[in-house]
Structure 1
């Protein structure tokens, strides 16, 4: 009877990421998908936009010949007026958001108690729905036979319905509603980490509530206010859906100009040039805002931001 000899087969190595990457390569491997995403959907479109602004486009869409005529065409008084009007409405939106957001964030951080998480949830949950649904809901509130007019009529504050839609008021109201959360969350995050013993120490030293707010609370939350201000100010500058839906044909802002140029026939290079011109003016205004925040911080005696 023959004996069968069983030979052990060599073990197969398990596959692991460590066999492909060293420890030095792991950060790059983790960040690579984000880098590819930004390259395809941010840097590449940005490069195409820049090239479109300084080259002629053929009927096939290819670039032909370097030119600055697109920048010269968009440099007129009407376009500059639209850009500065967009900066104005973005700044006003950021100011109103701050005025509303700071008390809300203060209440959530210090007065919310055990209901803090629930209140924060109710604050965020409306933004899980589609943005156009919010706009449609505000149509029912602001129309002539809507909730707001009926409320004012029932309180005898007005004699006849007011036409709120297609107005500057409707644009500002919708802009503040849409961007308010971007101001509340940074301020709330800063206030939640605030050391309450500083209030007690300030009170023991004889400071009033106004002095405590000016010398302690405001300087320490100023970086969060600056962040929230930029999170509102920058996207509000390029907003075009809200002015178009809530402002009607009279509302004409930077985002509307870009959308009309880009969607027009053979006018995309003008849209690209206008976008770059508006972006340069926007960056100058952002630098001015940061300088203002730095001056405010120094005047309050806080840390520079």
Structure 2
């Protein structure tokens, strides 16, 4: 068999071989896998990527490194992966900003739909709607009734323009037909501190960030943005029980560059899916009050398309203006 044909045959066989063999091939070439994160170290996206990277490295039998490329709401990291070779050695830990950025920036250095190969969504992170502890309402129905009886009196702390928290706030107001003032904050910590001090009335916040404060009675939980209650706060009802169709969660998923071989895409998907059952990943997701997802590549691709359409419609209806 001529050498080029023989080499191609071997590579094809390895691509279809078990996961450890594929990992061993890349390891033998001296190339670690890199997961690029569009935020600084220590945040939810970064810490989730680090636990997943460790477990995935064990699954593939190779080293996995995390490369933090913060800036421009994640578009620097997105662009780096979009330009990478489609060999599975460079992946992106994408988050909700990925589907928001096309609405914020008039021009991106990549096409969010055509420049990437979606592998799988890893997890969704529901938000909690919390109120100051002395708020004159305890349920979503009571909140809506109070807001309608006192238009403009209540205010919402909004942490992060274009974040899941910001968009959940606008969606909630639209669906309930209420008028509440948005008070912008640079981050969740400051917003939560002011809520506990009674300086603001309401806040959508990541479940993990608010759980201890809810349990301590420092803030009042009105509802959760997932379709069902979360295990950590089983007595907090989903807001959709009162506001039909309302759901809002941050999400995290892995993508590669476009034009990845379908067999490589499937191999990586199966490896990542297996990682989600690993005790370290289960513990991490539980600590974040996150919901394990493991969409197939096709399901994740469709989710991204649907989410971009949904957010574009929400931004238009709520008349949200981004400065960029």
TM normalised by structure 1 equals 0.22
Instruction: Indicate the structure with greater helix content.
Output: 1
Instruction: Indicate the structure with greater strand content.
Output: 2
**Bigger radius of gyration:** 1
TM normalised by structure 2 equals 0.21
